[in-house]
């Protein structure tokens, strides 16, 4: 086992439900962890210099390209050094926080993390995606079909990067604080309890698999 790479992107700190569920995973995880908090230390958004370094001889890099390449090298090295992943990516306005998208754009580089002859560099490594949301987006809920976080990330993390993705979506997090949603508090509590339990079980499962 090398380490678990934990990428946080919630802006709410200790009040974040995504982070709280992730902590249940961490509490049951048996092994080292590398933690990157994108909310407090965001990575740069992809720039023209960052795009132009792909396939360019490093000896010909401009200072801007060299700086952009250094960012990508650090993040890709950190990503590829992990044997498992924990992503806390809450739903903000129906999609992922921009800081997480910025991180993805820096590590998805053809010939380094994907597009290799043998397949994605991190193929089949386990990843837990935790995405809390204020409303309900499950089948039968009023907002079903409007989740642009989990389906997109299952495609990006699973298909592009080859990770074995499991998603947890604690829902209705606004129920305890919005009077109009008070009748949904029991459903929120059940969803949250299920997410915590599944996070703990997933940590135990992956720890045992990697230790075998």
pLDDT of residue 212: 77
User: Taking Cα atoms as reference points, which of 200, 140, 137, 145 lies closest to residue 174?
Assistant: 137
Structural domain boundaries in the chain: 4-211
Long-range pairs for 207-210: beta carbons < 8 A, 24 or more residues apart: 207/1, 207/28, 207/29, 207/30, 207/31, 209/126, 210/1, 210/31, 210/83, 210/84
**For the chain, what is the mean pLDDT?**
95
Q: How far apart are CA 184 and CA 65, in angstroms?
A: 51
**pLDDT over 70 (residue 1):** no
d(CA 36, CA 166): 20
Residue 10 in tokens: 């919630």
What tens digit of pLDDT does each residue of 117-158 get?
999 999 999 999 999 999 999 888 888 999 999 999 999 999
Contact 97, 38 (CB under 8 A): yes
Which CATH architecture group holds 4-211? 3-Layer(aba) Sandwich (3.40)
Distances (CA, A) of 90 to 42, 51, 182, 185, 209: 16, 27, 21, 19, 27
> What is the value of pTM for the model shown?
0.95
Asked whether residue 58 carries a pLDDT value surpassing 90, the answer given is: no
Residue 138's alpha-carbon distances to 53, 87, 122, 167, in angstroms, are: 41, 20, 30, 13
Virtual CA dihedral for 199, 86, 22, 165, nearest 10 degrees?
Answer: -40
Instruction: Give the pLDDT confidence of 160-192 residue by residue, as tens digits.
Output: 999 999 999 999 999 999 999 999 999 999 999
* Interior/surface letters 32-55, b for 16+ CB within 10 angstroms, e for the rest: eeeebbbbeeebeebeebbeebee
Task: Name the residue with tokens 């592009």.
Answer: 160
57 has a pLDDT exceeding 90: no
């Amino acid at each position: 086992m090398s380490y678990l790479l934990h990428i946080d992107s919630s802006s709410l700190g200790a009040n974040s439900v995504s982070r709280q569920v992730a902590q249940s995973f961490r509490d049951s995880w048996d092994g080292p962890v590398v933690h990157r908090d994108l909310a407090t230390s965001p990575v740069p958004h992809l720039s023209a210099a960052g795009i132009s370094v792909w396939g360019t001889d490093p000896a010909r890099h401009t200072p801007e390209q060299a700086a952009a390449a250094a960012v990508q090298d650090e993040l890709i090295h950190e990503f590829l050094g992990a044997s498992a992943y924990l992503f806390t990516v809450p739903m903000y306005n129906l999609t992922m926080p921009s800081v997480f998208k910025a991180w993805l754009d820096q590590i998805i580089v053809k010939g380094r993390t994907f597009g290799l002859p043998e397949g994605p560099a991190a193929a089949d490594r386990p990843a837990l995606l935790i995405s809390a949301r204020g409303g309900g987006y499950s089948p039968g809920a009023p907002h079903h079909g409007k989740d642009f976080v989990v389906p997109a990330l299952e495609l990006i993390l699973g298909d592009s990067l080859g990770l074995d993705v499991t998603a947890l979506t604690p829902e209705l997090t606004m129920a305890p604080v919005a009077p109009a949603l008070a009748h949904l508090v029991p459903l929120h509590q059940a969803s949250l309890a299920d997410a915590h339990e599944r996070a703990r079980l997933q940590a135990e499962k992956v720890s045992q698999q990697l230790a075998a």
